[in-house]
Amino acid sequence: MAGSATVRVLRDRTAGLFLTAVVVSGFGTSAMWLAAGVWVKSLTGSDSLAALAVFAMWLPVLVGPALGVIADRLPRKPLLVWSNLVMAGLLASLLVVDSAGRIWILFTVLVLYGTSFVLMDAAESALVAGAVDARLLGDFNGLRMMAGEGMKLLAPLTGAGLYARYGGGAVALLDAVSFALAAGVYALLPVREPATAPPAGRRGEFAAGLRQVWESPALRPLVLAGSVTMLCAGLNGAAIHAVVDDGLGHSPTYAGVLYAVQGAGSVTAGLLAGPLLRRLPERVFTASGIALFAVAVGVRALPYDAVVLAASAAIGIGLPCVLIAAMTAVQRETPDAVLGRTAATANTLMMVPNAVALALGAGLVALVDIRVLLPVVAAAALLTAALLVTGRRTGSPLLERSGELGDR
């Protein structure tokens, strides 16, 4: 049954094209994500500016609801095509960045990079909801996660090799080509979009996504659980170098091994998510993933290589569950007219805590021993899982109101 559903998704031309675009653009994105900080460091010699390179790509997540409005107001297929083409051109312009004096060009492109990522993610989520069989949304989102994580395993090696041999411009050019190819794939999508609704006023525009999440008994607990879990994930991520150095006594490069093992776990989670979502209640599936993540974070404090490697794989399996379940619920529960901004709002609510926790965790690791910090983080995640699965369960009235809202 699990295999048949996966095959149905892969045989569906629309779903297949979406996944192809994820693979193509994800390869370039993963390579660029690694190269950006190294590029800044090599040109400026500044660790702080190198860290800001990654932050620049995260920054637009803060304005996700506003970008979601654009995804709801413009035709989404052309938006995906042109956003990819614009990014291809912008990345190609980075070939002129060859000195510290031109580093501002790189930072400008990185901010626009993050903006396009949020915008295209909202548009894609909305298009998928209308183009893929609702019964297969969990399978699709799982495969999408698997494709993205798979690229994170392969592309950084390519990016590192290109950078070492030819410099940052070569990596930017690779990413530009990936965006151009993704634009071509999106142009082939056989989708029909409903007419966009007229604007509801600026205040209502920006608040619609948040209101949709907050008023839905199905979405609110999943997104809130996702926010807390990603906060815990950020703290866990900030501690990885302390785990490698203080816990295991390895060199900093060993963190790459842990990331690779975690990525392999995420690929597994993506493959299993759809079948499990059909067999388990949504909250039980999500809470189980959070609980697995929590236990793995707790045992990561133990000074044993085998335990830490197994914990990394378990984190990779457990952590994506809440993200896959939340996005599937958003696509299933939300009327098309506000789906872009709702998806962007949910993404903002879940991703911003992760970025904040990464910064906060950097300070905490210096003050608190990981043998204390990681079990506390694990306890917070376990409490989140318990509250999610024992909370009041109610049906979502949005399923009944979706037709009415969609006509407004």
Residues 10 and 48 in one domain: yes
Name the pTM for this structure. Answer: 0.81
Nearest to 213 by CA among 233, 194, 227: 227
**DSSP code at position 132:** S
Residues 191 and 230 in one domain: no
Of the three residues 176, 196, 216, the one that is the final residue of a domain is 196
CA atoms of 392 and 147, how far apart (whole Å): 34
State residue 94's pLDDT score.
92
Residues 170 and 222 in one domain: no
For residue 365, give its domain range. 202-408
State residue 2's pLDDT score.
52
Low-confidence ranges of the chain (pLDDT < 50): 1, 198-200, 393-408
CA distances from 291 to 26, 101, 273, 366 (A): 28, 48, 15, 27
Residues 126 and 55 in one domain: yes
CA distances from 7 to 4, 128, 322 (A): 5, 17, 24
Residues 126 and 248 in one domain: no
Residues 307 and 403 in one domain: yes
Domain CATH number, residue 322: 1.20.1250.20
Cα 192 to chain centroid distance, Å, stands at: 26
Of the three residues 180, 196, 212, the one that is the final residue of a domain is 196
Residues 189 and 308 in one domain: no
State residue 400's pLDDT score.
36
State residue 226's pLDDT score.
95
State residue 401's pLDDT score.
36
Q: How far apart are the first and last CA of the chain?
A: 39
State residue 222's pLDDT score.
95
pLDDT mean across residues, the chain: 84
State residue 253's pLDDT score.
67
Residues 363 and 379 in one domain: yes
CA atoms of 282 and 218, how far apart (whole Å): 9
**Using one digit for the tens of pLDDT, what is the confidence trace for 354-370?**
888 877 887 788 888 88
Query: What's the domain count of the chain?
Result: 2
Residues 139 and 260 in one domain: no
